Amino acid sequence: MYYIPEPPIGLLFFGFFIGVTCGLAFQATLKQQVMKWSKQGQQGIKADLSEMSVLIIPFWGICVGICIFLAGGLEIFIYSRSISYVFAGTLTLLTAGLIWTQLKKLIAQLLEGGSQALDLDAFY
């Protein structure tokens, strides 16, 4: 007899819930930091970039939620929890590293030149 395991629907919802709640916390923390940086002006740009560590806890929460969500989705098709977590963890870590470096560059550019430094219309 062939046994088909139950799909990990609970992991999908749990990972999605973690990702969304940590995403909302990340959004609120980022708004507070940007307001603080904009009030300080140009005096402490380099010192304030070290304060990005405030953002790292909700950011890693988002990453954990995404990893659980991806692993749960992969487990539906692969049937192996360990393989799905290895693949989802690797993919999540690579993506998180790229996003974090891009976020640091974007915030540094925003702090140095203000909102005029972000010429988003040039990409259209």
How many domains are there within the chain? 1
Identify whether 1 is part of a domain. no
**How deeply is 45 buried, as exposed, middle or buried, from its count of CB atoms within 10 A (0-12, 13-18, 19+)?**
middle
Residue 119 lies in a domain: no
Q: Return d(Cα 15, Cα 26) in angstroms, integer.
A: 16
The reply to whether 56 falls in a domain is yes
pLDDT tens-digit profile of 105-119? Answer: 887 777 776 665 566
| Residue 23 belongs to a domain | yes
Question: What's the pTM?
Answer: 0.79
| Residue 60 belongs to a domain | yes
Range of the structural domain that residue 63 is part of: 9-34+52-112
In a domain, 3, yes or no: no
**pLDDT above 70 (res 81):** yes
In a domain, 123, yes or no: no
> Per residue in 16-61, pLDDT tens?
999 999 999 999 998 888 787 777 665 555 555 666 778 889 999 9
